[in-house]
Structure formats: structure tokens, C-alpha cells
A = this chain, B = another copy of it.
Amino acid sequence: MQQLKSSVHKTFAILEYFTPQKPEWGVTELAIAVGSNKSTVYRFLSDLCKLDILTKNPNSDKYALGLKLFELGSRVSLKSAFVEKTHPELESVAKDITETVHIAVLKKDQIFYVDKVESPQGLKISSQIGSYNPAYATALGKVLLSYLPENQQKETAKKLLRSDAVTAYTKNTITKQKNLLKALDEIKQNGYAIDREEYELGLICVAVPIFNQEGNVVASLSASGPANRFEEKEVTRYVTTLKKGANAIQNKIGYFKP
């Protein structure tokens, strides 16, 4: 905390601690977590409460993210310019494929889930809108990477798979730079990507790119479901449906850039 210079940084550093895993914090524990003084953190929390960015649970005296933040989040034009337009298409794709459908954008070397429509079936993928996943281990991410400008793609692939930061989520995860670049090449030729349990065992995912009117990839669209009911012969049908959806979305988003 002390190394962060501006109050703006400090403010959002504090808000970052409020995650779905730990949505409630008391003053003392949060002060310890951020490595700052109790009264300093108290003032932040108290100020944020006045603005409804946080709310205080009157029973536990603990703080949680508040309505105002939800409101501000809803204002993000990504949402108004994107989700409002694209959501109906996701729904129609999900209805057709009867699996969970996601739309994601690339954010540095991760994919960011912008929206989803869940499978009507009981067994389905759990995911969180507004969260991140590694690009190299997901169909959504591989599609986005494969359509990057060549130099940028190599750079990202290098950065991704050079260091000690590579995680092999399953035995199928691509961990070698050479293999990734080869896979990306194939994806670009095929026009779609498959993730066969590369990120999570039992989870298969098919994804296609979404272009804007300038011809740049801006997002990707996927269907994902349990491996056991994911019929190999159905992949073609999935891709066709996804592409139809991606096409419809392209016509709606115009020159959108993520």
C-alpha cells in the first residue's frame, strides 16, 4: 500500500480485495491484508460507503461491494454497446446448440468473459462474467490469438509460454511455444478452435472469431459442455451455428473495439 502513490490507486487496490471468493471484509483484516494502517483503511471504507460503492453489513460490521459500483459497471459502454446488442444472439445460439455459450475479448494475455447464456441442461459449465482465464488454454483464447497480427501474435505467444509462468492445467494443455503457434495456424485456416479438455478435465469447447467492420477480431464466441456428451460428429454443426451467430453479431457491433 505504501508504495502506491496516488489515492486513486489505493482506492481501487482496496476494492480489488472484494472478490466473489471473499466478498466481505472487516477493517482490521483488510488493513492487515493490504499492509496498511487500520485507521487509514477505515477512512477509505467509510468514504466508499458514503458513496454506496461499498455497503456495510449492519450485523457483521463488515463491508461489501455496493449498488453504486453495480450501477457504474452497468454504464460501461462495453456493456451497452456490446452485451445489449449481442445477448439475443447468444441466446439463439445457446437454444440451438443446447450448451452454454460465451462471448469473450482478449485482454493482454487473458480472455475476459463479457457475457454468457447458460445451457438449459442440468450439467453445465460454471463461469463468472467479468472474470479472466488464460488465453492459451481455452478455445475462446486460441481463436483470439490466432487472428492477431503476426508480430503481435508471436510476441504474445512468446510471453505466454516462455517463462516459468506456464501452467499445464491438464495433460492436454499446450505448453510449448512451437505447438501453440502451430495450433494457432491451424485454427486460422479452419476458422474455429477446439479445446479438448485443455483447461479443465471433462470440458470441451468450440469457438469462432467475431470481427468488427474493419475486419479485426474483437471477440470470440464459444459453446462448451461436458466431454461425455460432446459428440465429435456434431462439431461441424456447432461451428456452423456459432458462425451464423458470430455473423449476426458482426452486423450489430459496427466498428466496436474492445
Chain A residues with CB under 8 Å of chain B are 6-9, 11-12, 15, 18-20, 23, 43-44, 47-48, 50-51, 53, 64-80, 88, 105, 107, 112, 118, 128-131, 258
* A72-B69 Cα distance, complex, nearest whole Å: 7
Whole-angstrom distance from the CB of A51 to the nearest CB of chain B? 5
A77 partner residues in chain B, CB cutoff 8 A: 20, 23, 64-65
Q: How far is the CB of A48 from chain B (nearest CB, A)?
A: 6
Q: Which residues of B contact A76 (CB under 8 A)?
A: 65-67, 69-70, 73
- Complex CA distance for A178 and B132, rounded to whole angstroms: 53
Whether the pair B8, A70 counts as a contact (CB closer than 8 A) is no
Distance to closest chain B CB from A78 (angstroms): 6
A52 to chain B, nearest CB (A): 8
Interface contact B15-A128, CB-CB below 8 Å: no
Min Cβ gap A109→B in Å is: 14
Q: Which residues on B sit within 8 Å (CB–CB) of A53? A: 12
